[in-house]
A = this chain, B = another copy of it.
Amino acid sequence: MAITIRDVAREAEVSVATVSRALNGRENVAAAVRAHVQEVATRLRYVPHSAARSLITRRTQTIGALLPDMHGEFFSELIRGIDRAARGQGYHLLLSSSHGDAGETAAALQAMLGRVDGLLIMSPHADPGFIERHLPEDLPAILLNPVHGHTRLSALAVDNRAGAYAMTRHLLHCGHREIAFIGGPRGNLDAEERLQGCLEALRELLPQSTPQLVAGDFSEESGYRAGSLIARQSPRPQAIFAANDSMAIGCLFALTEAGLRVPDDIALAGFDDIPTARFTQPPLTTVRVRIADLGGRALDQLVADIANGGVAQTHSVQMLAPELVLRASCGMHSHAAAAPTRNPDTVSKKRAQAGPATQGKPQPAPRHR
């Protein structure tokens, strides 16, 4: 690190200005000189001091990702998507996850302030007030899964409503009439939207029916409890739609334990398509969310906003349509679910796939080395 542009200039017998121009690919430098400078630079293993550079250019070539404390596949997929896009755009990724409360989140945001050209924010605490208080006006930022209606910031979100709508529609098309919905933590917007989508489809296709609502909190435990509850009922609903896969899996355990066969005695569907969903008995019908896409698109948009000189002109809210993944647990995997009328071409369909070796399913790459 000791070697600077001055050393290169001296060695190449030109001025620092010329070195800078040559290395940054500016036009007005003779081809021979440029080649020579480059040769010297690589020979000396010169690497520009990025702090000095960003001091003057006011650019860090870094974007920050502010994420909540998350576990599992969702998190890693999101980062994968963001990281890949960042690399593609020539940006670095400064990551800050693992903050529990609003204070920590604010501190993390604060700490990033001078170091990034833009921010990707995914946080339960990122309501308009928080943003107002902690985010500088002139720092481009994009929200992931916005909690509330933000006016200032663009946002990308999973279209939970459309996904749940399509899934409910599918369950109804399968012939199930009484549907139980296992909800998520109260106040959780994802869960809320999924419920809304479910209700909407029911209202539309089966106006006279009232779905049974069972409490849950996104944990497998709560799904198990919900499943036990439902298993004891008589009459039972014909289908259960859980607001996420973890609960669906817990529920499946409870149903199986109670001697019920899925889908023959009761149908079951989840939301998220976590990897485990493929391996339950029976494999779980669910709604797939393309998380990596979400992250990648958010980053691309952010970089575009940055290029457009700071703050975005249009604060758009982009909805990413999830797709139905039909497996055995809904009792009708080959059925082609109708796309939601509200959003006709955003929800695609996917053929069922069960066993691991039956055909080319998306196979995670070996993770060791």
| Residues of chain A at the chain B interface (Cβ within 8 Å) | 1, 45, 47-55, 58, 60, 62, 68-77, 79-80, 83-84, 87, 92-98, 108, 110-115, 123-124, 136, 138-139, 145, 147, 184-185, 188-191, 217-221, 223-225, 244, 246, 249-250, 253-254, 257, 275-276, 279-281, 355-357, 363-369
Of chain B, the residue at the smallest CB distance from A244 is B368
> A52: which B residues are within 8 A, CB to CB?
51, 55
Q: Name which of A50, A58, A60, A68 has the most chain B CB atoms within 10 A of its CB.
A: A50
Contact pick for A280, options B58, B74, B279, CB 8 Å: B279
In the complex, the answer to whether A221 meets B363 with C-beta atoms within 8 Å is yes
* Contact (Cβ within 8 A) B97 A79: yes
Q: For residue A114, which residues in chain B have a CB less than 8 angstroms away from its CB?
A: 1, 47-51
- Are B189 and A369 neighbours in the complex by a CB distance under 8 Å? yes
**Most B CB within 10 A of own CB, among A49, A51, A185:** A51
**Which residues from B are CB-within-8-Å of A68?**
369
Chain B residue numbers with a CB within 8 Å of A218 are 366-368
Is there contact, CB below 8 Å, between A71 and B365?
Answer: yes
The answer to whether B98 and A84 have CB atoms under 8 Å apart is yes
Chain A to chain B contacts (Cβ below 8 Å), 30 pairs? A47-B113, A49-B55, A51-B51, A51-B53, A51-B54, A51-B60, A52-B55, A55-B55, A69-B365, A71-B77, A71-B80, A75-B79, A76-B76, A80-B98, A83-B96, A83-B97, A87-B98, A92-B115, A93-B95, A95-B95, A185-B366, A188-B369, A190-B368, A190-B369, A219-B363, A224-B356, A224-B357, A246-B366, A275-B275, A276-B279
User: B111–A74 contact, CB under 8 A?
Assistant: no
A92 CA / B364 CA spacing, docked (Å) = 29
Q: List B contacts of A124 (CB < 8 A).
A: 369
Residues of B contacting A136 in the complex (Cβ-Cβ under 8 angstroms): 1, 45
**Which residues of chain B come closer than 8 Å to A58, judged between CB atoms?**
1
Query: B73, B115, B224, B281: which contacts A281 (Cβ < 8 A)?
Result: B281
Given contacts A1-B136, A83-B97, A123-B369, 20 further A-B contacts (CB under 8 A): A47-B110, A49-B55, A50-B51, A50-B114, A51-B53, A72-B275, A72-B367, A73-B73, A79-B79, A83-B98, A87-B98, A147-B369, A188-B369, A218-B368, A221-B363, A244-B368, A250-B357, A253-B357, A276-B279, A279-B279
Q: Is the CB of B96 within 8 A of A93?
A: yes
Q: Which residue of B lies closest to A225 (CB)?
A: B357
Residue of A92, A93, A94, A136 most packed against chain B (CB within 10 A): A92
Residue of B nearest to A55 (CB): B51
Contacts of A217 in B (CB 8 A): 366
Bound: A47/B253 CA distance, A: 52
B276-A138 in contact (CB<8A): no
Going nearest first, the 5 A-B pairs with the smallest beta carbon separation are A76-B76, A218-B366, A50-B114, A224-B357, A124-B369
Residues of B within 8 A of A112 (CB): 92
**Contact across chains for A115 and B50 when beta carbons are under 8 A apart:** yes
Shortest C-beta distance, A104 to chain B (Å), equals: 8
Chain B positions within 8 Å of A45 at CB level: 136
